[in-house]
Each structure stands twice: as structure tokens, then as C-alpha cells.
């Protein structure tokens, strides 16, 4: 008995020690993880406007950068940053709605229906997904241009470039159905079967039975397609083009401010402020929907 | 983990590493040979069989069909009209009329410099890529005649081929539809009405409704551009040459661009000859390291965070997840600044007196770069991005491990470490194999990390001191970007693109064939 | 998941898009100017339109990246402005593929002829292939001049020190003594970039007393009329090799030249007007000094084995370029007249002057310094210094002589600048070859590339004896 007790005592001591160790390791790691982001935030709140500074913590604090960002003229566009944010919001929302619908419907068909050419379709999407995207960008640009949805410069047609961008983002989205399919695969097929016996159409089964059960994957898919446009700075620039900066998305705008061929290094703090503003909505979405995100990621991992 | 002595760990079951090792061994000894001895030949046998059956069916369909069906071979929808399916028949007819009008009428698309490029039969002729140079009439300077646009001639030639294939598909569908109506009549039913056809779309043919937008998008926005890119690899489309001559046109060159990998001929042949294998090698090393560091790092982090009794799990998790939520062009560039020569890290190290000269962490100095350091740094920074992802994923899996597995082990008195290696690790590994594969492929094509951190640097120069486009840390995909988007060397870029594809698709085909998920689907038969 | 809500959302967004896209229906000419002066030209154009009601078009002023515009034009010029701004050296590339239109309006041509220095007039003309004529046509109307000059930190560098590279080095070494934290990290001067344009001041250096050099780059716009193997070029190269090792010069690192100025890792930078803002932001406006690219004195070591006497004073050279308005080849032919009228106005002396006063663009026309002197008291002293340094540098410089696509390609895309850069970087770790023989070999190769491109440069046989070479070949 005594021996046992001793054993427990030493065990709990050891556990306490290991727990303390975990705290230390985690805190150090968390610091490493947070420092670059913290640095951007600190730079954004630097009192003086200007270039990158070797000081980690600024000497003065202020919100001048944010003021300039919101009122400033960039690339000849007044209130450019606000316009870019609005453009990105429009692109993101529409892309999110269309992509989510396409992805889920394709995933449903692939998971719960059996039809001719199903496997051919799955193979096709997997194989062409493996081609690096850069080469196809110019072809996509010219195809969109042929129907008037890219490369417009005059102020009354430039908005069509945004339509082109939404189309290019969302049209192919259905090919990324694998994760959602993994999720649907887990939903018992018997549910579908019994609904069929009750005379439900496939559409009704999808809309009334499958979707209500799929909140996590709907949110995951929507989250992914909503955040995409905020992060892409290459494809969007090719499609919208340099000729209509008022139609840029915010990532294209911020990237150009800081890293265009003749970018002005003194824009850095404003760039940082822009990053913070862009970061806030995405990060808060992520945080709010973290659990769904985890479910989506796990479904993807398990099913590939 | 922290409470175990290293010796203990050594004795523990190493099944997971054995598994990985076996996996690799299997891959080379079984999967690859299997692919070439069974899968590929099987594919061709099936293809031949399919063609034969198709032909038989074609003839049979014509011979046995009603007059309407026979007529449908020539005039789409004739069979439907014959059976009273007016709307359906008209739709087919309209499609046929439209496609023929398109093919004969050759509508024009406006390309660069307002050059007009036709679609239709003229586009097929254009596929020969015989254009004319720009012309200038001194008496009418406002109106120079633009040169032909080779790239659009090629692109819309391919579009036309696509339209022809579409025509054949509709042709086939029209005949099938006529045959179906024949069958309905023969068996005493009324041929389906248009309304019934529409209703079928949300039920029996629901997949047609749902899949077709994606299929069309896949063909237009991915397949067609991909074929275009493949074609470019066989042309002289290369800004380096075209601006030196100067010419606005490119033409077919056969396999010479591929040959230059081995011969070093051609304007960029030297580069592709000297740099292809080094870049490929680094790409593979990078992909292996990036995949496994993030994988094991993520699992360890998940275990730490999910430790029993640890408080503030959510807070910790949130801090790590930030890196997923923040756009990479922001977070990676922040890291790049932090590590730059005058950045906070170097400044701090100097202030503490640890170094005299700034360390070029990412290999971006003009000279004196440490290539190995740059590579290690990039892999470490990639962990910063990738680890939280695996952490989230494995957290979910950890919670789902059936507890009876542990119960049984606990009864046997198995130590925690042993349980980890015997139960936890194998379980996670078993479940996440598909993820490992796809993350490996993803890392081969990992653009952002390299592009935003090192931009491919440090540069590599040839014997006389010219810098190659591909630097020490360039992956195939960033090299491709430099060649195409930065420098307009499209043909060389296309060659790299195709080779990258062959590489990744081989790995994918072989590994997926062995993964559980795809075996269930028995996809590749 | 209520369909209605989604539909309402889509409709609202659709409306928002169409609102954003709202615009006039009158014909529009889009004018692309540099990002830094877009507000100025927007204002000028509005005034012009107000005074010329019969102009017939709206004008949309768009900011563009002068560095990438030629690339965008070649990719798809229908997606570019009707009137665009390019550096003159891109004219040949675009003109020879009919991507831009020749200018023919008599008033405009007369203005270009009357206002501009001969050096500019030479490089804005190009022949046109397939035109049946070998006549040269004017393609661009210069309106901003650009040259490299020196920006230095007045806190550490005196006005006299800024006159010579030796002075800059002296200032750097002095600071190394007092600022013991940074020690070897302090350098006299850095460059604004690592490309061939930014370090051209070494290669293009001239003898200070008579402004002469033996270097010829496409003289008479003839590709074979190039020469860079002169003893003076060799000596200057040897000097540059030293300068990058002894604390005089330093390449910009990955933090950028501005941060280097801020942390006084570099006390000065050779750059252009478009780098001025960043330098101001780095060290404060009052600390920015502006001067010509300094002179340097060739040491006995630099001139060893050459015919150049020691202590020859050289002056850093520069490419003195001009930015031009050109007409997009894809622009509607009906706009041609109006476009030329607008260009005539925008590149007139008055507007160039105004542009200098309000947007710090240094005018391109000949004799613009007189105007700048005349308003010296009205303007910011830095603006004055900047203009003065630039226009004086233009006298020591040459416009990049790339009037054809081929010349541009041979100079930039065939690795010549790389070759030179790698020659003057002597990597201490790899113990680069800094013998005079190596210098002569690289210059020989470089000249070959200038003349013939690099397709056969691998098989180039470097002769045993190179021009001016007295040493024997080291194998």
C-alpha cells in the first residue's frame, strides 16, 4: 500500500513537472509564432510614417498610417484602399456563394450517386489539377478577354474584369470537391435510400436531407472560398490587369504598393496598416469558425 | 514525452518508422513496376476494346434505327421531331445550326494590338502558325497593320477543335435520344415530353445538372489552357528570341525544347541543361523535408496542447492558427523583413554582441551567401506555416481515437510512451496517409513559401558569370514562374511545366492506387 | 440557408458592382502616367478639358508602373492606356512590332524638334520594319528626364566629402571609429538596386577633366560600334572591385537601400528621383544632401599594367534617360488626332515646368535648368538641388542607346550586366579571381555580347593577347 502511494505521489509529481514543461515549451513556441504577426501590427501603429525599421518596438505610436491608408490616393485612385476592400468583399462573397454551391453539389453527386463517366470525371479532375497553374493563366486571360471579361481599361467597362475574376475563381471551384466528398461519404447511404423510397427527387434529397446534416462542411467550404480572394495576389492581377487599379482586389493593391517594380520603400508602414485591416476580418472569421475548420481539415485528411 | 529518458524511446516499438520505410520500399519495388507492367498495358487493352465496341454499336444503331433516327445522323433532332418531341428536336437542331454557323462563319476575336483572330475552319488552318509580321504604311500612320498573333491562333485553333469534339458529342447524344424515342414507341410508351425531361434533371439525371457547370469550367478554364500550354512547349514562343530578331510570331519547333535538357542547345538550352536536375533534386528534398517536418511537428504540437490538465488550450491553439488565417504574402514577407540584413533579428544579434556581420539567413545578399543555411531556414519557416495545420488536423483525430484501445493497454500496464508509439502514432499515421501524399504533392508545387521568402536566391551563375534564372532555392514551380510571368520564356516554361506534371502525376497515380480511399473507389481499372 | 436571403444578397452585390462600374458614355482616352505624378496630370488634364470644350473625349488618368509597362504592352496592349508613359529605351521594342504608333502631327513634331536636346532626339526615333522605307519615325515625346545622382546623409557626410568617393569612404571609416557597435557594417555609399541601370555609374565613368571615355555603347546606334576594353574601363573596373571591399561602396542588401541609410550602414546612395521619397523617409528631409555622382581617383594599383596614369580623376557616369509619352498601337484610329494634341500640350515646356514645380518631375527639354534657376527662391531647396544634380549628371551621361529591340535585348537580356556585376563583386569566401587578366577577359566577353548576343558566347575563344594586355594568360 505504502509503496503504491509513493508511486502515485511520484507519478503526480512527475506529471506536474511534465505539465510545467509543456507550459514552457508551448509558451516559447507561441511567442515564436506570434512575433512576426506582432511585428506587422506594431509597425502599423508606428507613430511616424515610413520605411522598415530595425527596431522591433517602435519609438512612437499613433494611427497616422491608418488615416493615410483610408484617405490616401494610391495608383491615382482616390480612397483606393476602401475601393479595393469593397471589390474584394464583392468578389469574395460571390465567389463564396457560387463556389460553395458548386463544390457541395459535385461532392454530393460523386459521393451518393452512381452514373456513367463518374470515375472518368474523378480522374480528369485529379490529373489536370496536377498541372502547375501559371502557364494556363495567359490562356485563361485571353479566353475571358474574348468574351469581354478581362483586360478592359475604360472606366465604364472595367468592372467587367471583376466579373471575369469571379468567374475564373468560382467556375473551376467544383473540381475541389474531394474534401466535401469525404464528408458526405460518412453520411449513411441508407438515409438517401429511404428518402428515395419515399419518392424524394435527388435534388430534394440533396437540399433537404444532406445539406442540413452538413453544416460543418458547408461552413468549411464557404470559409475557404471566401478567404481565397483576400490572399491571391498573382492571378487577380493578371485577370484585372494594370489598367484599372480602381478594380484591384486588396491583395493586389497592397502587394503592388510595396513590391511593384518602382515601389516606394517609404510605403512600408502604410502597407503594414493595410495588412492589419485585411487580417482582421479573415482572422476573426477563422477564430469564430475554428471548430468547423478543424472538422473540414480532418475530413480532408482522412479522405484525401 | 518530456519525462522519458532517451534510452527508453530507443527501445520502444519503432513500428511507425518501419512502416514508412516499408512504404518507400514498396513504392519502388512494387508500385512503380506494377504501374508500367500492369496499369499502362491494361489501359491500352481497354482502350482498344472500347473503340471496337463503339464502332459496332455505331453501325448497329444506324441500321436498326427508324427513319427518324437515320435522319438524325445528318440532321440533329430529326428523330425527336419525327417522334413529336418538338422542343427537344429544335434544341438539337439549333445547336447543330449554331455550331455549323460558327464553324463556317468564322467569327473573329480581338487580340493584342487589335489583331483579329478567327474561330472556325480558318482557325484550323491557323494552327499551322503561319502568320504575317506587322506592316506599316507611311501614308497612314494611324493605322498600322498588326502582326498576326501566334498565341491566339494557337489558342483559338484549340478552341475550334474543342467545338468539333462538342459537335460530335451532341451528334451522338442526338442519335441516342432518337433511339430512346424509338424504343419508347416500340415498347408502347409515349416518348418523354420536354417537361418530363426537365424533371429528370432534378432527379434521375440530377448529376448532369450538377456536374455540367463544373465539367464545362474544367474544360474551358483548366483543360484547354493546359493543352495550350503543352502545345507551347513545342514552339519557339520565347521572348528572349522573339525580341532579339525581332518578330511577333512564333512557330512549331518539334521536340527541340525537350532535347535541350540534354544537349544544352537553344537560347535557354544552357539554363535548362545546367539547372534542371539540380532544381528537380532540391524540389524533391524540399518536398520530403517540408512534408515530414510539418507532419511530425504538428503531431507533437497537438499532443502538447491536448495534454490532460493543460489550461488555456484554446488560447494556445488560437495563437498557432493565426498563421493559417493571415494571408501568406503578409506573414512571409514580415518574416523576410525580420530576417533581413538590417532587420530586427540581425540588429538584436549585433546588439548582444553575438555577431559582427549581418547573417544572410535567406540567401539574399549579393555575395557570400550560405546556401545550406538558406535552405534550412526556408524549411524551418515553412514549419511555421505548416505545423498549425497538421496540429488542427491531428487534434481532431486524437479526440476520435477509440478509448478502448487505451483501456486494454492500460490494463496490460503499458507505459504512456509505449502507448504513444504503439497506439496513437500508428492510428494517426493510418488515418492520415492520404493527407501525407497530397501534402507531398502540394509541397512540390509550393509556390508562396519560396517566392515570398527567398525568391529563389542565391543566384547561380554559369562558367562565364551569367546568372541563371533558377537560383539555389528555386523549386520547379517558382522557376516556371520566373521563366513565364517574369521573362516571357514560355516554351521553356512549358517544358518545365510538363516535366513537373509528369513527375507529380506519376507519384500520385502510383500512391493513390495503393491508398485505401482509392482502392474502395477502384478508380484505375 | 434561406434561398431568399442569398438571392437578396446577390442582387445587392450585383447592384453594388454596377454602381462601381458606372461611368460616362462619351469616348474616353486613357492616359497612363507614373504613379508618383498621377494627381498632377489628373489636374492638368481637367484644366485642359475645361479650356478645350471641342476636344471630344473624356480623359481618364491612370497610374502605371513605368518599370513593367513595356511588358504589359507586349503581353496585351489592348489592355493598356491609349497614351502611355515609357522610358525611351523601350521605344524600339514596341515600335518594331507596331505596338505603338508613329507621331505625325506637325505641331507635335515641331515642338519635339525645337525643345529637346540632340541626344534625346536621337533615341526617340526608330525605323519600322516592313514599311518599305528606311526612314526613321518619331515615336515618343520626352517630358521627364531621369539620371542617377547622389543622395547623402548630411549628419555624417560633409558637402566636400560628398564630392568624392574617397570622401565618402573617409566619412564611413570615421564613423566606424565612433560607432563601435556596427564596425565593419558602415559603408560610404550604396546603390538603389543591383541591376545594370543602377550600377551603370561605374562602367560609364568618365575622365573628370575632359569628360572623355573610350567606352562605346552602340554609338551611332550601330550594334557593332561598341567597345569596352579600353584601359580606362579596365582601371575603373579595378577601382570598383576595390571600392566594394574597402568600405567605399556596398551593394544594397535585402533590407533595401533606404533602411541601410536609416541605420547608417550606408551614408549615401546613388539613385534617381524616384528613390528620393524613401531616402527622406529614412533619414529625415533636413538630413538629405543631393549632389553629383562623386569623382574618384585611380590609385597606382588600379592602373597597374595599363596605360592610364595614376591619380587620374574619374567622374561616375550615368544613363541619362527620358520618359516619353507614346501612343498605343491598339488605340482607336479615330482618337489619333486628339491623342497627339493632348501629348503636344502635356509635353509642352509650360506643363513640364509646372510638373517640376508641383510633382518634382525634372523637365526633359533643353535649357530647363534656366527655368529651375529662375524659380530657385520659390521652391524647396531639395527640389532645386535634385534638379540641378540631375541635369548636370545628364551632361556626364548618355541616354541608353537602345533604339531597336535587338540592342535592348542584347544589352539587358543576354547577361552583360550580370557579367559585370559578378566581376566587381569579389566574393571573399570563394576567393574570386581579381587578376587584371580576368577583368580583360570579362570585358572582352561583355563586348562580344553587346555586339552579338549570347547564343554563341560559350564557344567564344578568348585570345591569348587582349587589347592593351601586357600580361600573359593565366590558366
Residues of C in contact with B342 (CB under 8 A): 253, 255, 259-260, 262-263, 265
**Residue B474 is assigned to a structural domain of this protein:** yes
Tell me which residue range forms the domain holding B266. Answer: 261-521
Q: What CATH number did the domain enclosing B288 receive?
A: 1.10.3720.10
- B485/A134 touch (CB, cutoff 8 Å), yes or no: yes
Q: Which residues of A touch C257 (CB under 8 A)?
A: 265
- Taking an 8 Å cut-off on Cβ atoms, the answer to whether B202 and A202 are in contact is yes
Burial class (CB in 10 A: 0-12, 13-18, 19+), C99: buried
Query: How does DSSP classify residue C474?
Result: P
Q: Which of B358, B362, B374, B464 to mutate: most C Cβ within 10 Å?
A: B464
Q: Which of residues 341-400 of C touch B (CB under 8 A)?
A: none
Question: In this predicted structure, what is the pLDDT of residue C20?
Answer: 45
Between chains, do B327 and A290 touch, taking CB under 8 Å as contact? no
SS3 A208: helix
Calpha distance C62→C57 (Å, rounded): 15
Q: Which of B138, B126, B160, B109 is nearest to B249 (CA)?
A: B126
Q: How confident is the model at residue B513 (pLDDT cuts 50, 70, 90)?
A: low
Which pairs with CB-CB distance under 8 Å and at least 24 residues apart come from C110-116? Answer: C111/C141, C111/C344, C111/C347, C111/C348, C112/C138, C112/C141, C112/C142, C112/C347, C115/C347, C115/C349, C115/C364, C115/C365, C115/C366, C116/C142, C116/C322, C116/C364, C116/C365, C116/C366
| H helices present in A45-79, as ranges | 64-71
> Which chain C residue lies closest to B266 (C-alpha atoms)?
C455
- Sort strands C321-328 and C83-87 into parallel, antiparallel or unpaired: antiparallel
Residue in chain A lying closest to B504 (CA): A130
CATH, range C149-318+414-459: 3.40.190.10
Q: Is B345 on the interface with C (CB under 8 A)?
A: no
Dump pLDDT digits (tens) for B382-437. 999 999 988 888 887 877 777 777 787 778 777 777 887 878 888 887 778 778 88
pLDDT at residue A238 in the model: 87
Q: Which residues contact C131 (CB under 8 A, 6 or more apart)?
A: B135, B136, B137, B138
The answer for C 273-302 residues in CB contact with A (under 8 A) is: 274, 277-278, 280-282
Q: Considering Cα of C185, then C188, then C192, then C198, what sign does the dihedral take? A: negative
Question: What topology does CATH give the domain A70-303?
Answer: MetI-like fold (1.10.3720)
**Do B304 and A134 count as a contact with CB atoms less than 8 A apart?**
no
CB contact under 8 A, A37 and B323: yes
Q: Count the helix, strand and coil residues of chain C and give each as a percent rounded to the nearest 5.
A: 45, 15, 35
Query: Would you say residue B116 lies in a domain?
Result: no
Q: Are B256 and B179 in contact (CB under 8 A)?
A: no
Contact list, A189 vs chain B (CB under 8 Å): none
Measure CB to CB from residue C67 to each of A77, A244, A262 and give the nearest one.
Answer: A262
Indicate yes or no: CB of B113 within 8 angstroms of CB of C137: no
**Residue of chain C nearest B147, judged by CA positions:** C97
| CA separation for the pair B423, B306 (Å, rounded) | 16
B63 CB burial (10 A radius; 0-12, 13-18, 19+)? exposed
How do beta strands C28-34 and B116-118 pair?
Answer: unpaired
* Residue in the block written with cell 480581338: B110
pLDDT tens, position by position, B321-367: 888 888 888 899 889 989 988 888 988 888 888 887 888 898 888 77
What is the rounded (10 degree) CA torsion for B58, B64, B70, B72?
Answer: -60
Q: Determine whether the interchain pair B304/A298 forms a contact, defined as Cβ–Cβ distance below 8 Å.
A: no
Q: Which residue has the cell 481539415?
A: A297
Answer whether residue B184 shows pLDDT above 80: yes
CA distance B513 to C258: 54
Higher-pLDDT residue of A61, A189 = A61
| Mean pLDDT computed over every residue of chain A | 86
At B252 the three-state DSSP class reads strand
Interface residue of A139, A167, A195, A254 to substitute, partner B, most B CBs within 10 Å? A139
Pick the CATH number of C25-146+320-396 from 3.40.190.10, 3.40.50.12160, 3.40.1190.20, 1.10.150.110: 3.40.190.10
In this complex, the residue of A242, A256, A266 whose CB is nearest that of residue C258 is A266
Please give chain C's pLDDT, 475 residues, in tens. 344 554 555 555 554 444 444 433 468 899 999 887 888 999 999 999 999 988 889 998 888 877 788 888 888 888 899 999 998 888 888 888 888 999 999 999 999 999 998 888 888 888 777 777 778 889 999 999 988 999 999 999 999 999 999 999 999 999 988 877 766 788 999 999 888 888 888 888 999 888 888 888 888 778 888 888 889 999 999 999 999 888 899 998 888 898 899 888 899 999 988 889 889 988 989 999 999 999 999 999 888 888 889 999 999 888 888 999 999 988 888 899 999 999 999 999 999 999 998 888 889 998 888 999 999 888 888 889 999 998 888 888 888 887 787 888 888 877 888 888 888 887 655 556 778 888 888 888 889 888 888 777 777 777 777 766 655 444 3
Q: Single out the residue of B524, B513, B519, B507 nearest to residue B441, CA to CA.
A: B507
Yes or no, beta carbons of C63 and A154 under 8 Å apart: no
Alpha-carbon distances of B396 from A296, B201, B306, B361, C150, rounded to whole Å: 10, 38, 10, 35, 60
**Where do the CATH 1.10.3720.10 domains begin and end in chain A?**
70-303
Q: Which of B149, B415, B393 is nearest to A302 (CA)?
A: B393
Which residue among A75, A94, A241 sits closest to C35, beta carbon to beta carbon?
Answer: A75
State the nearest Cα–Cα gap between A176 and chain B, in angstroms: 10
Residue C473's pLDDT is: 41
In chain A, residues 99-158 whose CB comes closer than 8 Å to chain C: 138, 141-142, 145, 150-158
Distance from CA of C266 to the nearest CA of B (A): 11
Interface contact C48, partner B, CB < 8 A = no
Where in chain C are the domains?
Answer: 25-146+320-396, 149-318+414-459
Rg of chain B (C-alpha set): 30
CA distance C307 to C303: 7
My answer on whether omega of the bond before C315 falls inside 30° of 0, hence cis, is no
Q: Do C35 and A262 touch (CB under 8 A)?
A: yes
- For residue C34, the surrounding DSSP H or E stretch is strand C28-34
B237 touches chain A (CB under 8 A): no
Q: Which of residues 27-86 of B touch A (CB under 8 A)?
A: none
Does residue B68 have a pLDDT over 70? Answer: yes
pLDDT above 90 for B377: yes
B388 neighbourhood in chain A, CB within 8 Å: 33
**Nearest in space to C284 (alpha carbons), one of C148, C149, C155:** C155
The pLDDT of residue C11: 52
Which of C11, C74, C76, C86 best probes binding to A when mutated, by most A CB atoms within 10 angstroms?
C76
Q: Which of A286, A298, A303 sits opposite B517 (nearest CB)?
A: A303
Of C347, C340, C346, C338, nearest in space to C56 by CA: C338
> What's the gap in Å between the CA of C369 and the closest CA on chain B?
35
* Beta-carbon contacts of residue B40 (< 8 Å; ≥ 6 apart): none
Distance of CA A124 to the CA centre of its chain: 25
Q: Subunits touching B (CB < 8 Å, at least 3 pairs)?
A: A, C
Q: What is the DSSP letter of B312?
A: -
Domain count, chain B: 1
Lowest-confidence segment of B144-153, B318-327, B455-464, C145-154 by average pLDDT: B455-464
- Interface A-B, measured as beta-carbon pairs within 8 A, has a size of 286
Q: Which residue of C has its CA nearest to B360?
A: C254
Within 8 A of A245 by CB-CB distance, chain C residues are: 62-63
Query: Is residue C6 less than 8 Å (CB to CB) from chain A?
Result: yes
Do C37 and C357 contact (CB within 8 A), yes or no?
no
Smallest Cα–Cα separation from A155: which of C57, C65, C39?
C57
Separation in Å, CA of B3 to nearest CA in chain C? 43
Amino acid at each position: 500500500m505504502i509503496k503504491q502511494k509513493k508511486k502515485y505521489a511520484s507519478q503526480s509529481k512527475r506529471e506536474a513537472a511534465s505539465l510545467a514543461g509543456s507550459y514552457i515549451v508551448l509558451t516559447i513556441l507561441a511567442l515564436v509564432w506570434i512575433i512576426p504577426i506582432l511585428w506587422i501590427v506594431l509597425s502599423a501603429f508606428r507613430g511616424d510614417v515610413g520605411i522598415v525599421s530595425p527596431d522591433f518596438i517602435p519609438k512612437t505610436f499613433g494611427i497616422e498610417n491608418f488615416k493615410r491608408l483610408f484617405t490616401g490616393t494610391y495608383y491615382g485612385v482616390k480612397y483606393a484602399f476602401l475601393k479595393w476592400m469593397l471589390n474584394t468583399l464583392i468578389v469574395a462573397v460571390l465567389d463564396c456563394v457560387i463556389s460553395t454551391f458548386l463544390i457541395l453539389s459535385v461532392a454530393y453527386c460523386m459521393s451518393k450517386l452512381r452514373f456513367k463517366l463518374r470515375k472518368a470525371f474523378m480522374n480528369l479532375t485529379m490529373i489536370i489539377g496536377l498541372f502547375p497553374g501559371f502557364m494556363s493563366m495567359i490562356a485563361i486571360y485571353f479566353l475571358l478577354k474574348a468574351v469581354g471579361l478581362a483586360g478592359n481599361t475604360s472606366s465604364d467597362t472595367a468592372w467587367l474584369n471583376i466579373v471575369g475574376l469571379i468567374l475564373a475563381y468560382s467556375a473551376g471551384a467544383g473540381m475541389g470537391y474531394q474534401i466535401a466528398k469525404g464528408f458526405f461519404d460518412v453520411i449513411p447511404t441508407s438515409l438517401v435510400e429511404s428518402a428515395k423510397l419515399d419518392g424524394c427527387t435527388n435534388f430534394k434529397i440533396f437540399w433537404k436531407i444532406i445539406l442540413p446534416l452538413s453544416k460543418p462542411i458547408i461552413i468549411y467550404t464557404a470559409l475557404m472560398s471566401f478567404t481565397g480572394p483576400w490572399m491571391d495576389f498573382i492571378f487577380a492581377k493578371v485577370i484585372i490587369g494594370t489598367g484599372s487599379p480602381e478594380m484591384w482586389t486588396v491583395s493586389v493593391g497592397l502587394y503592388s504598393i510595396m513590391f511593384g517594380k518602382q515601389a516606394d520603400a517609404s510605403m512600408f508602414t502604410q502597407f503594414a496598416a493595410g495588412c492589419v485591416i485585411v487580417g482582421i476580418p479573415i482572422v476573426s472569421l477563422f477564430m469564430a469558425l475554428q471548430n468547423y475548420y478543424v472538422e473540414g481539415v480532418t475530413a480532408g485528411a482522412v479522405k484525401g | 514525452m518530456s519525462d522519458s529518458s532517451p534510452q527508453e524511446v530507443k527501445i520502444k516499438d519503432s513500428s511507425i518508422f518501419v512502416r514508412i520505410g516499408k512504404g518507400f520500399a514498396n513504392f519502388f519495388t512494387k508500385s512503380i513496376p506494377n504501374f508500367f507492367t500492369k496499369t499502362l498495358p491494361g489501359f491500352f487493352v481497354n482502350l482498344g476494346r472500347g473503340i471496337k465496341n463503339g464502332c459496332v454499336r455505331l453501325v448497329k444503331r444506324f441500321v436498326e434505327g427508324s427513319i427518324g433516327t437515320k435522319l438524325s445522323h445528318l440532321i440533329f433532332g430529326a428523330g425527336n421531331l419525327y417522334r413529336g418531341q418538338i422542343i427537344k428536336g429544335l434544341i438539337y437542331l439549333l445547336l447543330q445550326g449554331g455550331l455549323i454557323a460558327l464553324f463556317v462563319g468564322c467569327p473573329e476575336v480581338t487580340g493584342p494590338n487589335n489583331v483579329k483572330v478567327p474561330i472556325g475552319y480558318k482557325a484550323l488552318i491557323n494552327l499551322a502558325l503561319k502568320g504575317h509580321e506587322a506592316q506599316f504604311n507611311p501614308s497612314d500612320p494611324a493605322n498600322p497593320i498588326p502582326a498576326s498573333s501566334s498565341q491566339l491562333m494557337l489558342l483559338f485553333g484549340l478552341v475550334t477543335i474543342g467545338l468539333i469534339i462538342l459537335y460530335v458529342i451532341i451528334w451522338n447524344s442526338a442519335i441516342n435520344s432518337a433511339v430512346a424515342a424509338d424504343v419508347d414507341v416500340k415498347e408502347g410508351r409515349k416518348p418523354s415530353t420536354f417537361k418530363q425531361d426537365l424533371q429528370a434533371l432534378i432527379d434521375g439525371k440530377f448529376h448532369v445538372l450538377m456536374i455540367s457547370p463544373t465539367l464545362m469550367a474544367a474544360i474551358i478554364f483548366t483543360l484547354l489552357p493546359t493543352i495550350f500550354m503543352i502545345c507551347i512547349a513545342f514552339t519557339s514562343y520565347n521572348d528572349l528570341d522573339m525580341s532579339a530578331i525581332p518578330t511577333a510570331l512564333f512557330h512549331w519547333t518539334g521536340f527541340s525544347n525537350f532535347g535541350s535538357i540534354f544537349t544544352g542547345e537553344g537560347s535557354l538550352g544552357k539554363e535548362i541543361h545546367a539547372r534542371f536536375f539540380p532544381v528537380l533534386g532540391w524540389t524533391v528534398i524540399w518536398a520530403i523535408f517540408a512534408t515530414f517536418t510539418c507532419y511530425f511537428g504538428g503531431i507533437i504540437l497537438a499532443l502538447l496542447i491536448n495534454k490532460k490538465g493543460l489550461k488555456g488550450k484554446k488560447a494556445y491553439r488560437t495563437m498557432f492558427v493565426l498563421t493559417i488565417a493571415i494571408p501568406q504574402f503578409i506573414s512571409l514577407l514580415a518574416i523576410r523583413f525580420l530576417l533581413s540584413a538590417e532587420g530586427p533579428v540581425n540588429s538584436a544579434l549585433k546588439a548582444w554582441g553575438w555577431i559582427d556581420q549581418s547573417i544572410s539567413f535567406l540567401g539574399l545578399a549579393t555575395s557570400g551567401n550560405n546556401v545550406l543555411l538558406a535552405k534550412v531556414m526556408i524549411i524551418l519557416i515553412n514549419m511555421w506555416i505548416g505545423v498549425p495545420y497538421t496540429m488542427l488536423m491531428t487534434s481532431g483525430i486524437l479526440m476520435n481515437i477509440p478509448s478502448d484501445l487505451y483501456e486494454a493497454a492500460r490494463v496490460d500496464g503499458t507505459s504512456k510512451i509505449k502507448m504513444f508509439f504503439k497506439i496513437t502514432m500508428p492510428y494517426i499515421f493510418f488515418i492520415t496517409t492520404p493527407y501525407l501524399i497530397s501534402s507531398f504533392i502540394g509541397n512540390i508545387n509550393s509556390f508562396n513559401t519560396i517566392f515570398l521568402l527567398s525568391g529563389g536566391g542565391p543566384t547561380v551563375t554559369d562558367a562565364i558569370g551569367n546568372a541563371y534564372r533558377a537560383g539555389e532555392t528555386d523549386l520547379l514551380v517558382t522557376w516556371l514562374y520566373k521563366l513565364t510571368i517574369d521573362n516571357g520564356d514560355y516554351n521553356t516554361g512549358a517544358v518545365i511545366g510538363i516535366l513537373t506534371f509528369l513527375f507529380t502525376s506519376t507519384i500520385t497515380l502510383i500512391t493513390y492506387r495503393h491508398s485505401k480511399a482509392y482502392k474502395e473507389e477502384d478508380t484505375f481499372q | 440557408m434561406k434561398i431568399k436571403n442569398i438571392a437578396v444578397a446577390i442582387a445587392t452585390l450585383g447592384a453594388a458592382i454596377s454602381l462601381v462600374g458606372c461611368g460616362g458614355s462619351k469616348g474616353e482616352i486613357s492616359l497612363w502616367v507614373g504613379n508618383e505624378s498621377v494627381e498632377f496630370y489628373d489636374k492638368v488634364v481637367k484644366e485642359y478639358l475645361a479650356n478645350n470644350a471641342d476636344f471630344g473625349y473624356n480623359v481618364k488618368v491612370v497610374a502605371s508602373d513605368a518599370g513593367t509597362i513595356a511588358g504589359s504592352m507586349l503581353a496585351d496592349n489592348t489592355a493598356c492606356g491609349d497614351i502611355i508613359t515609357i522610358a525611351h529605351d523601350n521605344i524600339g521594342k514596341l515600335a518594331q512590332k507596331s505596338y505603338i504608333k508613329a507621331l505625325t502631327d506637325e505641331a507635335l513634331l515641331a515642338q519635339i524638334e525645337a525643345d529637346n536636346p540632340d541626344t534625346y532626339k536621337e533615341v526617340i526615333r526608330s525605323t519600322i520594319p516592313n514599311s518599305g522605307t528606311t526612314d526613321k519615325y518619331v515615336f515618343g515625346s520626352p517630358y521627364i528626364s531621369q539620371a542617377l545622382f547622389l543622395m547623402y546623409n548630411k549628419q555624417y557626410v560633409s558637402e566636400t566629402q560628398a564630392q568624392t568617393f574617397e570622401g565618402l569612404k573617409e566619412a564611413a571609416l570615421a564613423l566606424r571609429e565612433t560607432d563601435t557597435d556596427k564596425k565593419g557594417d558602415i559603408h560610404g555609399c550604396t546603390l538603389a538596386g543591383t541591376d545594370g541601370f543602377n550600377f551603370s555609374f561605374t562602367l560609364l565613368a568618365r575622365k573628370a577633366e575632359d569628360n572623355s571615355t573610350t567606352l562605346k555603347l552602340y554609338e551611332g546606334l550601330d550594334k557593332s560600334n561598341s567597345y569596352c576594353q579600353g584601359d580606362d574601363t579596365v582601371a575603373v573596373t579595378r577601382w570598383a572591385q576595390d571600392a566594394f571591399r574597402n568600405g567605399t561602396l556596398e551593394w544594397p542588401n535585402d533590407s533595401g537601400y533606404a533602411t541601410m541609410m536609416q541605420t547608417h550602414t550606408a551614408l549615401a546612395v546613388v539613385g534617381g528621383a524616384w528613390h528620393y521619397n524613401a531616402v527622406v523617409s529614412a533619414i529625415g528631409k533636413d538630413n538629405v544632401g543631393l549632389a553629383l555622382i562623386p569623382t574618384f581617383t585611380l590609385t597606382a594599383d588600379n592602373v597597374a599594367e595599363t596605360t592610364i596614369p595614376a591619380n587620374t580623376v574619374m567622374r561616375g557616369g550615368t544613363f541619362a534617360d527620358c520618359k516619353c509619352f507614346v501612343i498605343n498601337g491598339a488605340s482607336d484610329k479615330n482618337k489619333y488626332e486628339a491623342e497627339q494634341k493632348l501629348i503636344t500640350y502635356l509635353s509642352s515646356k509650360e506643363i513640364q515646368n509646372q510638373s517640376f514645380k508641383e510633382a518634382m518631375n525634372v523637365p526633359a527639354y533643353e535649357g530647363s535648368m534656366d527655368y529651375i534657376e529662375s524659380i530657385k527662391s520659390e521652391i524647396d531647396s531639395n527640389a532645386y538641388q535634385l534638379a540641378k544634380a540631375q541635369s548636370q549628371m545628364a551632361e556626364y551621361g548618355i541616354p541608353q542607346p537602345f533604339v531597336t529591340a535587338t540592342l535592348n535585348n542584347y544589352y539587358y537580356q543576354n547577361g552583360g550586366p550580370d557579367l559585370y556585376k559578378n566581376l566587381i563583386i569579389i566574393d571573399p569566401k570563394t576567393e574570386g579571381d581579381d587578376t587584371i587578366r580576368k577583368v580583360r577577359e570579362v570585358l572582352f566577353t561583355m563586348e562580344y555580347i553587346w555586339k552579338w548576343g549570347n547564343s554563341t558566347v560559350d564557344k567564344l575563344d578568348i585570345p591569348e593577347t587582349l587589347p592593351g594586355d601586357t600580361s600573359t594568360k593565366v590558366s
